[in-house]
Amino acid sequence: MHPDSPISATLVCWGNAWLTGQAGLDEAADRAERRAGPQLVAADAGDVPLRSFLADLRGEGMTSLRLALPVAGDPLGLTGPPPFNAAAIEAGQAAVAVLPSRCLGLVPVRDRRGSSYAGVRWSVFEASAAVPDVPSLAEAERDLALTMRAATDALLGVEGPAQGHRRATADDEGLAPGYPARAHRVAALAARLAAALRVADDRGLTSGQVAVRGQALRDLDRAVRRARVAAHHAITELV
């Protein structure tokens, strides 16, 4: 999976909406399938549908789902062990199912079979039950605003040749029902900024300008990922 794909975020927000009574299991699974096609989970006995897997986890007492959006050097949302961390970092995303005495890490990969089937297959890993070091929604919103202003100032100081405009389109449907208004606002801003980061272009800049611009964009990317994770965890702060 490419980290720009929102499938882990979709699973987390709609899964949490289901767990808190704001949506049904079928609606949560349908949202994931609408986003990325059929959803299967790799199990010992063979692949099982995502909705069946989630139903089984709830029977075991699953209380919430967490979002991880890690990159090399910044394992945001991860607490180990190494096999899960490595798979999540390679994918750029993961979901963590929180159960009473353990956690399970779910990492998505593209599932293509032939010329017509395209979906997602989730690999399951044992995950640490430790609580990840992620910001609160208020902290993430404040950090995003400050970083956005700093990045804007840095980028305005980088002058390069005129370039053709490429429209930044946010590939995100927003959060599920049950999330606070502030979380919806932060998630929407983070999605717009993530879209802008995808179309950033270094053409025509000097090496010094590229370095300044690159640092500003890396700082903004980190703030965007932290804001997305905090927004998707916000529903669990209410229960």
**Integer CA distances (angstroms), 94 to 48, 102, 118, 185, in order:** 18, 16, 19, 22
Q: Are residues 119 and 143 in the same domain?
A: no
CA distance readout (Å), 198 to 123, 125, 205:
27, 30, 18
Spell out the per-residue pLDDT of the chain, length 239, in tens.
544 568 999 999 999 999 999 999 999 999 999 999 999 999 887 899 999 999 999 999 999 999 999 999 999 999 999 999 999 999 999 999 999 999 999 999 998 887 778 899 999 999 999 999 999 999 999 999 999 988 887 777 665 444 444 444 555 678 999 999 999 999 999 998 888 777 665 555 567 666 777 788 899 999 999 999 999 999 987 55
Q: Which helix (H) or strand (E) holds 35?
A: helix 25-36
- Cβ-in-10-Å burial (0-12, 13-18, 19+) of 218 comes to middle
Q: Do 37 and 120 reside in the same domain of the chain?
A: yes
Query: For residue 132, is it within any domain?
Result: no
What pTM value is reported for the model?
Answer: 0.87
Same domain, 100 and 15: yes
Closest CA to 134 of 192, 73, 190, 78: 78
Asked if the structure places residue 69 within a domain, the reply is: yes
Show the domain range for 77: 7-127
Q: What are phi and psi of 94, to 5 degrees?
A: -170, 160
Query: How confident is the model at residue 164, as a pLDDT?
Result: 44
The span from the CA of 52 to the CA of 59, in Å, is: 11
Tokens of 233: 């965890």
Query: Domain boundary residue among 127, 147, 171?
Result: 127
**How many domains does the chain fold into?**
2
Which pLDDT score, from 0 to 100, does residue 211 have? 77
* Residue 213 belongs to a domain: yes
Asked which of 127, 150, 182 is the last residue of a domain, the reply is 127
